């Protein structure tokens, strides 16, 4: 069932979202060759807990062991931070994080380069981000979920990128994952009608190669089937009478 949010509930999600936004402002400077993904995770947990009332939302969620999902290069999402995983020059690093504050969840992801990645990977990252904002622009009352998905998919199709289909965006609020599902593909004018008070995480995942993915034996890390690079961007967005309100910016 869909849980629509009041203005004050949306404001509460935005307070957690502001912690995430601050974390992502500080993250780029930390993505240096030689840093381990476990070190990034420790920093992020302390950063979040340094804000009164804020907790890392993913740690322990469904058994996930860390604050950040860190997915490098051909890893799509849900990578587990590790002391053995050192970033190197040219890596493309997806970081996904959730914050729980005042009983509400906020969720956002970025994909950032370490130094200078390959040109095709850099373009993939930029266009996945563009697609996120194109999808967000459609998140207004009267539009449909298909308008969001189609806007995202059109960017991928224009470049021949694979759109991951097994993983989608989602509603969120008092739970980290609520209805509806928010696919990164679709047809304009189709799907659920968007109404004021709907809060959704919009999160395109584009692959440089084919759309196919598989899950590693750690049962978390999702990788591209062809081992080509993948990018992921996400914001938590409220549908309001004034249009889309990004709660994690």
Residue 9 lies near Mg ion (rule: CB under 5 A): no
Count Cβ atoms below 10 Å from residue 148 Cβ, excluding itself: 31
Minimal distance in Å, beta carbon 175 to Mg ion? 12
Residue 4 tokens, joined: 């629509």
- Using the contact rule CB under 5 A, the part of the chain among 139-147, 187-195, 207-215, 226-234 near Mg ion is 226-234
Q: Total residues contacting Mg ion (rule CB under 5 A)?
A: 5
> Which residue lies nearer to Mg ion by CB, 75 or 96?
96
Cβ-based neighbours of 75, under 8 Å, separated by 6 or more? 94, 221, 222, 223, 230
Residue 107 lies near Mg ion (rule: CB under 5 A): yes
Residue 225, preceding peptide bond in cis (omega within 30° of 0)? no
Minimal distance in Å, beta carbon 71 to Mg ion? 11
The binding track of 41-80 with respect to Mg ion, each residue x by CB under 5 A or -, is: ----------------------------------------
Write the DSSP string, 155-220: HHHHHTPEEP-SS-EEE-SSSSSEEEEE-S---TT-SPBP-TT-EEEE--EEESS-S-EEE-TTSS
Minimal distance in Å, beta carbon 147 to Mg ion? 19
Per CB under 5 A, residues contacting Mg ion are 96, 107, 109, 201, 234
């Amino acid at each position: 069932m869909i849980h629509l949010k009041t203005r004050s509930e949306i404001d509460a999600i935005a307070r957690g979202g502001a912690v995430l936004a601050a974390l992502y402002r500080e993250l780029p400077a930390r993505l240096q060759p030689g840093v381990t993904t476990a070190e990034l995770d420790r920093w992020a947990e302390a950063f979040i807990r340094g804000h009164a009332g804020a907790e890392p939302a993913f740690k322990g969620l469904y058994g996930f062991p860390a604050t950040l999902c860190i997915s490098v290069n051909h890893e799509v999402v849900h990578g587990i931070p590790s002391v053995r995983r050192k970033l190197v020059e040219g890596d493309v690093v997806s970081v996904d994080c959730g914050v729980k504050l005042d009983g509400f969840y906020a969720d956002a992801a970025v994909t950032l380069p370490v130094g200078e990645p390959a040109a095709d990977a850099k373009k993939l990252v930029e266009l996945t981000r563009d697609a996120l904002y194109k999808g967000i622009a459609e998140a207004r009352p009267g539009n449909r979920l298909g308008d969001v998905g189609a806007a995202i998919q059109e960017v991928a199709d224009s470049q021949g990128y694979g759109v991951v289909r097994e993983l989608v965006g989602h509603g969120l609020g008092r739970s980290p994952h609520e209805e509806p599902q928010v696919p990164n593909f679709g047809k304009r004018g189709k799907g659920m009608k968007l109404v004021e008070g709907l809060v959704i995480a919009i999160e395109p995942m584009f692959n440089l190669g084919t759309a196919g993915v598989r899950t590693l034996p750690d049962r978390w890390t999702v990788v591209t089937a062809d081992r080509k690079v993948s990018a992921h961007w996400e914001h938590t967005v409220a549908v309001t009478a004034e249009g889309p309100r990004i709660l994690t910016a």
